[in-house]
Amino acid sequence: MSQKLFVSADEVAKRAGVSRSAVSRAFTPGASVSASTRQKVVQAAEELGYHVNHLARGLMRNESGIVCLIVSDVATPYRSALLRELTQQLQLAGKVAMLVNTDRSDGSVDRALQQAIRYRADASIIMSGLPDKSIAQLCLRSGQRLVLINRDDDQPGPLRINLDDTEAAQRVVTAFVRAGCRRLAFANSDAGTPSLMARETGFVAAAKAQGLDVTVERYGLTGYESGKVLAQRLLTKSERPDAVFCATDLLACGFMDAARHQFSISVPESLSIVGFDDIEQASWSSYELTTFAQPVMAIASEAVQWLSAEPSGDPDQTSKRLHAEFVWRGSVRAG
C-alpha cells in the first residue's frame, strides 16, 4: 500500500526550476539563497505540499531535534503540569518531545532510553522513575544529553535539577512552632526517592533543633490513598499529632480527608497540615492547603536552556538548585 505519498525536494526543485540543493537551502535558516530563488522554491513547495523530511535531515545532520521525555505516573497532577511546561518550552525552542511512559516497571526506563537512542534523540529528560546507574554512561556513549529532575545521581555529565527541599522543611517546622503545634509528624511514601527523603530528614533535623520529636510514617506510593492510610496510622496513635508535614500534596489531600471525614478532626483548628508541590487541587476550597510550589516553569526553562546551549564541560553548571515558594493557605492554624 505504500505508494508515492510524500513530495520530495527533487520534485519541488523541478517545479521551481532550480537545483535540489537550492530547495534545501531555502528551508535552512541562515543559508545563502537569493530572495528570488527562495521565493520560487517556497511557492513551488506550497503548491506541491512539500514538507522537509526531518527523518532524512536528522540522518544527515546527526541531530534529530527530538527530546525524549521519560516519565512514570504521567496522570499525576504535578507530573502532568511539568509535562505541559516542558513540551511547551521545547516546542518554542524548535524541538519536539517524544514521550516515553515507564509505568510498567521491568527495566522500563532502560527500554525507554533504548527507544530514545534508536530515534537518535538529542537528549533525554528523566522526570521520574529510577534510572539504572549504567544509563548515564549509555547516554554519554551515544552522545545524548541527559537531564535529571528531582532525582540525584552523582555521576557527572547530566544536568541535575533539584529543589531546596531541606530549607523548605525547615520553614514548615518554623510555621508549625509559631502556630503553637508541639506534636509533629511526617507522612511520607516509602518510595524513598531523594527529594522525598530530603524533605523528611530536613524536617526531622529542624524539629530536633527546636527540641521537638517527629513521628515519621511511611507507606506506599505518593498518592491520595496512601495519604489516607498514613492518616489512619498517625491519627490513631496515643499521642495524636497536632501538625503533619506530608511529602506531597496528594498525600496531604488524602490525609486531610481522612482526618476530617473519618476522624472528625477539624483542620486547621486541631490539626495543621502542610503539603508539597502546589498541585491545582491544593487551592480548591475543600482543601485550601498550605504547601510549596514546584517551580515548574523554572524547571522547564532550565532544562530547555541547557539543552539548547552548546555543550560545555563545565561541571559547575550541571547542577541547579531551585527554590520552592511557600504558599500560605488555610491548612495551618493561625499563630
Closest CA to 181 of 227, 239, 222: 239
DSSP 308: H
120 binds its own copies (CB under 8 A): yes
Buried-exposed string 62-71: b where 16+ CB fall within 10 A, e elsewhere: eebbbbbbbb
User: Nearer Cβ to its own copies, position 65 or 194?
Assistant: 65
User: What's phi and psi for 97, nearest 5 deg?
Assistant: -100, 130
Residue 18 binding partner per list its own copies, DNA, none, with a CB distance cut-off of 5 to 8 Å that depends on partner kind: DNA
15 binds DNA (CB under 7 A): no
Shortest Cβ 73–its own copies spacing (Å)? 8
- In the numeric block, which cell numbers belong to residue 15? 517545479
- Binds DNA by CB under 7 A, chosen from 15, 18, 89, 128: 18
Q: Which amino acid, 87?
A: T
Residue 32 binding partner per list DNA, its own copies, none, with a CB distance cut-off of 5 to 8 Å that depends on partner kind: DNA
Rounded Cα–Cα distance for residues 76 and 245 (Å): 20
Q: What is the DSSP string of 240-253?
A: --SEEEESSHHHHH
Residue 141 binding partner per list its own copies, DNA, none, with a CB distance cut-off of 5 to 8 Å that depends on partner kind: its own copies
Rounded Cα–Cα distance for residues 97 and 64 (Å): 11
Shortest Cβ 178–its own copies spacing (Å)? 26
DSSP 282: G
301 binds its own copies (CB under 8 A): no
DSSP SS3 for 147: strand
Residue pair 189/196 in contact by the 8 Å Cβ criterion: yes
- Binds its own copies by CB under 8 A, chosen from 8, 19, 80, 193: 80
- Binds DNA by CB under 7 A, chosen from 59, 92, 99, 334: 59
- The number of beta carbons lying within 10 Å of the beta carbon of residue 44 is 21
H or E stretch at 16: helix 9-16
Binding part of the chain for DNA, among 48-56, 139-147, 177-185, 195-203 by CB under 7 A, reads 48-56
Q: How remote is the C-alpha of 154 from its chain's centroid?
A: 18
Binding part of the chain for its own copies, among 149-157, 235-243, 258-266, 326-334 by CB under 8 A, reads 258-266
Binding part of the chain for its own copies, among 76-84, 167-175, 212-220, 298-306 by CB under 8 A, reads 76-84
DSSP SS3 for 209: helix
Binding site for its own copies (CB under 8 A): 1-3, 5-6, 49, 51-56, 58-59, 62-64, 66, 69, 73-77, 79-81, 83-84, 87-88, 91, 96-101, 103-104, 114-115, 117-120, 138, 141-143, 224, 228, 253-254, 257-258, 260-262, 280-281, 284-287, 310-311
Binding site for DNA (CB under 7 A): 6, 8-10, 18-25, 27-28, 32-34, 36-37, 50-53, 56-57, 59-62
